[in-house]
Structure 1
Amino acid sequence: MSGKGRCLVQAATLRGVEAVPVDVEVAVSSGVPGFAIVGMADASVQESRERVKAALRSCGFTMPASKIVVNLAPGALRKTGSGFDLPIAAGILVATGQVDPSALERALFVGELSLEGAVRPVAGLLAYALCARMLGVGLVSAEVEEGSCALGRLELRCARTLADFRTPPFPRAVGKKMQIRAESSDFCDIAGHDMAKRALQIAAAGGHGALMMGPPGSGKTMLASRLPSILPPLSESEALETAVVHSVAGENYDRSLHGVRPFRKPHHSASLAGLVGGGSPPRPGEISLAHNGVLFLDELAEFSPSVLQGIRQPLESGKATVTRADGNVEFPARFMLVAASNPCPCGYFGDDEKKCTCSERQIRAYQGRIGGPVMDRIDVHIAVRRIPPGEVLATGRGTSSEELRRAVLKAREYASWRRARAGTGSRRETTEELVRACDLSSEDEEFLKATAQRSCMSGRAIMRTLALARTVADMEERSRVRRADLCEAIGFRSRQGEL
């Protein structure tokens, strides 16, 4: 829509990891000179007035000495970010007759302006591209490479400066083939630890959480850092989901678009907002940046207990919900939790060679920082022991990542086939579906009941034990879970290294 003194420009604002369409309505009329932006605009949007004024003058346009009102509709939606600079400036140029209205046709505009009129990229470009594709229009933003937000059925065009509005159409984005270097870390670099490798292999096959507990220097961090090398690449839909989260967070997402699963390792001093998400406007936290990948929490017991309790709900639901006065914002958070911890403050409780100097009270307090509810949600518990010096020197001759990865891929393919045959598809199995998928014999069912009674297992613990046993059976491509699978799952579920 455009007419004498009026113009409408298509824009969008970020809410969570989604770009929501916004109409930028510009009206230039006679009256007391002024420049007002209305429609629930935050401080960063209000600052657009000064950037737009300076940018228009720097590019040789006229800033009208009239009454300018910019309305951002819908009015009930809070608008955030500096990406409104470009659509507001474009609306003023068309409303004042300085550029042809055809420059704004069938396009969504997003970009920040420098005082010289250059168009700068903003966070969330991939989310804006998805919004433009949904609306059936093109996207005009700062100069970017096409590969950074290449989507089918989307026309991506670049505006370098406001001066480009004099000579539309805007040039198309330049495609560039990106080379993603593969990770060099391999499990063969780690000698010994065959049981830990087996446990991580099972965890990778079923997407189970894992906790490694052992003394300092036993290899916990090395084992965790090599876990991505045995995971399958992201599917096309997973890659796009993951890349959008990183785009909104303002981080590079090239690796995600090329199928590389994220591996996040926040420091133990991380705040609740940094881990789960928050801020104003709400920003995705580390658990969302690990979506479809691995979240590694090293020195788990050193994290604040309140921060650790914040990941309980996302572990179950696969999403993080941030509540604000204007509503809830959801971030995807379906991740594989891998953690490492010392068993006590000195680190040597249970070690065969070095004596622990901690009291029983100190050990209980240290392990209690993790919290029972979080521990109950971790499926695989691994006791990592220090290996003999002779085995340390045999590095490079351990089981390779490629060998472990083949078994993981085989298990996942079999599990997908099994779920498809049962009609559950790719979604998470319900309790009833999981019990039916395990197909336990009456003897094995009684064995599990007796073990659960003896070990005081919660209902969640029983179902997670079944899920772990189902993964073990998937690795052998068996339709029925056997007693041996249950025993191995129960062994990994039992908490290792605890007092």
Structure 2
Amino acid sequence: MVAVAYTVAFEGVEARLVEVQCAVSAGLPSFSVVGLPDKAVSEARERIRAAFASLAIAMPSRRVTVNLSPADMPKEGSHFDLPIALAILAAIDVIPRDKLEQVISLGELALDGRLVAVGGALPAAMTAAATDRLLICPKASGAEAAWLESVTVHAAPALRQAVEHLTGRVPLPAAVAGEIRNGHDRGDLRDIKGQESLKRAVEIAAAGRHHMLMVGPPGAGKSMIVARLPGLLPPLTPIEALETSMIHSLAGTLGEGGISRDAPFREPHHTASMAAIVGGGRGAKPGEISLAHNGVLFMDEFPEFPRAVLETLRQPVETGEVVVARANAHIRYPCRFLLIAAANPCRCGQLADPSRCCARAPVCGEDYMRRISGPLMDRFDLRIEVPAVSVDDLALPPSSEGSAEVARRIADARALQLTRYDGHASVRVNADLSGAALEEVAGPDREGQDLIRRASDRLGLTARGYHRILRTARTIADLAQSATVRAPHVAEAISYRLAFARGV
């Protein structure tokens, strides 16, 4: 007889159902796992032996064969420990075999039988709901998985409790969803003296999710204002929170309790590798751009990132999706994020100050900015030159308008966009607009059309630049609560395309 348990294997954010088949047959004692297991799955043999010993259960002195079906799909991760153990226990009649038909399980076994938390509990819960099954997972992962109300989740602290639940001796209670985590206070815009144009640009970027590049000397306040950006963004919608939490669950960064309504904020160092930024490595894990999905990716010292890393951003920024290619699979991760990049004007950072810049100025600044290719530069809707803050600015009293007032305008603009794009699965904010919908929603009035036509003739706008101006103008109109995109909105949008542009 073959006993069958069920678990999942991860392909991107999708959790695919895996059938764990166990056969105990006559022959010399052995324990083999087949079905394209990786090293962590193959090592499950020793963890399961030790866990069984802690329960005073002996491994059968026969040939034990475990097949992970479909056999042509790679199986990676330690979460296969629990389903393999349950399949073996069902094969030796410790657990009723019919009980495992209604259960998806995942969890890593410690040598003493404890269940250790694993990533991917939330996507596994979605697969359990889709297949009308229960989910058994480690106790530390229960609060995360229980956020999905359409599935019953049982969180077991150890293998013993999972077995007692399946045999009906001591049923496990249903897991309870954790509390929504609150974001941390990152400061207020009132802390920033001067830089009013930069504050305005950050407001526009947050309202419509428009990518922004800031260039200015060290100490001008670039990093300081971006650190306050998470406090300006509205809470994630339930759908966005679920999408984001699924990615963080797979990466193992969700934490106990799990889901959060705060937009993610990621700030990788410029020494990060390509796999760390776009995804890949062992198990093709999501990278920083996917971990920033529905949130902010801040890349400070932008030209210092490796050229290959910067160029790989071009497609994800445009499509909102990244494909991690492998020999046996193409794994897709969503990555609709707000890219905020900051850079010094040159390597020494003092290009604007003749008394302090190096002897190679201004050539050094041109060479430094050429590290950002034209096609990548074209993808920034907002380009801001950030001047140094003067002593007079620092002596000014705090601004009368803080983060709360700006966040309120951004929330109102986002609410307009949610209502406008209701029913459009691929459009949530103005930055997602394209095609006929862009012309319909963001088409300016006659004066605005004349203005953008003259700008195109004089500046040589690319097609992408033209469309990005329309999207930005639509966001500026939303912040002004204007139903129509007018000439002043278009003029402001054009002004953000002019700085340090090699073609706009």
Q: TM-score range by the shorter chain?
A: over 0.9
Q: State the one-letter code of the partner of 2:148.
A: L
Equivalent residue for 2:157?
160
User: 2:180–2:257: 8 Å Cα contact kept in structure 1?
Assistant: no
Cα deviation digits, residues 85-104 of structure 1 (max 9, x gap): 11111111111123343653
User: 1:347–1:356: 8 Å Cα contact kept in structure 2?
Assistant: no
Cα deviation digits, residues 134-181 of structure 1 (max 9, x gap): 111111111136532321122111222222214353343355545525
Equivalent residue for 1:486?
490
The answer as to 2:118 corresponding to 1:122 is yes
Partner secondary structure for residue 154 of structure 1:
coil
User: 1:87–1:109: 8 Å Cα contact kept in structure 2?
Assistant: yes
Distance 1:54 1:204 in 2: 53
* TM superposition shift of 1:497: 9.2
CA RMSD of aligned residues (A): 2.4
Cα deviation digits, residues 249-280 of structure 1 (max 9, x gap): 01025797231000000000011111000013
User: Which stretch of structure 1 is more off in the superposition, 157-166 or 278-287?
Assistant: 157-166
Q: State the one-letter code of the partner of 1:400.
A: G
Alignment of 1:23-422 (within 5 A): 23-101=19-97, 103-144=99-140, 146-149=142-145, 150-164=147-161, 165-166=163-164, 167-173=169-175, 177=179, 180-252=182-254, 257-351=259-353, 354-355=356-357, 357-394=359-396, 396-397=398-399, 399-420=401-422
Cα deviation digits, residues 300-350 of structure 1 (max 9, x gap): 011111100111100011011001011200011000000110011111222
User: 1:190–1:398: 8 Å Cα contact kept in structure 2?
Assistant: no
Q: What's the TM-score, normalizing by structure 1? A: 0.93
Partner secondary structure for residue 241 of structure 1:
helix
The answer as to 2:477 corresponding to 1:473 is yes
User: Which stretch of structure 1 is more off in the superposition, 488-497 or 365-374?
Assistant: 488-497
Q: State the one-letter code of the partner of 1:475.
A: L
User: 1:296–1:339: 8 Å Cα contact kept in structure 2?
Assistant: yes
User: 1:243–1:253: 8 Å Cα contact kept in structure 2?
Assistant: no
The answer as to 2:464 corresponding to 1:460 is yes
Q: State the one-letter code of the partner of 2:414.
A: R
Partner secondary structure for residue 480 of structure 1:
coil
Gaps of 5+ in 2: none
Distance 2:343 2:240 in 1: 30
Q: State the one-letter code of the partner of 1:188.
A: R
User: Which stretch of structure 1 is more off in the superposition, 211-220 or 169-178?
Assistant: 169-178
Distance 1:90 1:260 in 2: 38
Identity of aligned residues (%): 38
Distance 1:398 1:46 in 2: 62
Distance 2:231 2:197 in 1: 18
Q: 1:412 to 1:160 in 2, by over 3 A?
A: closer
Q: State the one-letter code of the partner of 2:457.
A: Q
Structure 1: 4+ residue segments shifted above 6 A: 421-425
User: Which stretch of structure 1 is more off in the superposition, 47-56 or 284-293?
Assistant: 47-56
Partner secondary structure for residue 403 of structure 1:
helix
Partner secondary structure for residue 64 of structure 1:
coil
Distance 2:311 2:445 in 1: 37
Q: State the one-letter code of the partner of 1:378.
A: F
Distance 2:194 2:136 in 1: 55
User: 2:180–2:259: 8 Å Cα contact kept in structure 1?
Assistant: no
Q: 1:12 to 1:168 in 2, by over 3 A?
A: farther
Distance 1:423 1:263 in 2: 24
The answer as to 2:442 corresponding to 1:438 is yes
How many pairs were matched up? 495
Q: What's the TM-score, normalizing by structure 2? A: 0.92
Distance 1:413 1:34 in 2: 62
Q: 1:420 to 1:48 in 2, by over 3 A?
A: closer
Distance 2:426 2:241 in 1: 22
Distance 1:169 1:101 in 2: 17
Q: 1:209 to 1:424 in 2, by over 3 A?
A: closer
Q: State the one-letter code of the partner of 2:152.
A: E
Q: State the one-letter code of the partner of 2:155.
A: C
Distance 1:224 1:117 in 2: 46
* TM superposition shift of 1:439: 3.3
* TM superposition shift of 1:466: 1.1
Q: 1:218 to 1:493 in 2, by over 3 A?
A: same
User: 1:145–1:175: 8 Å Cα contact kept in structure 2?
Assistant: no
Q: 1:254 to 1:390 in 2, by over 3 A?
A: farther
Q: 1:110 to 1:429 in 2, by over 3 A?
A: same
Distance 1:336 1:50 in 2: 45
Cα deviation digits, residues 32-51 of structure 1 (max 9, x gap): 22111111211211111111
User: Which stretch of structure 1 is more off in the superposition, 137-146 or 105-114?
Assistant: 137-146
Distance 2:480 2:115 in 1: 56
Q: 1:414 to 1:171 in 2, by over 3 A?
A: closer
Cα deviation digits, residues 42-69 of structure 1 (max 9, x gap): 1211111111112112221010110111
Q: State the one-letter code of the partner of 2:306.
A: S
Q: 1:417 to 1:237 in 2, by over 3 A?
A: closer
Distance 1:260 1:185 in 2: 15
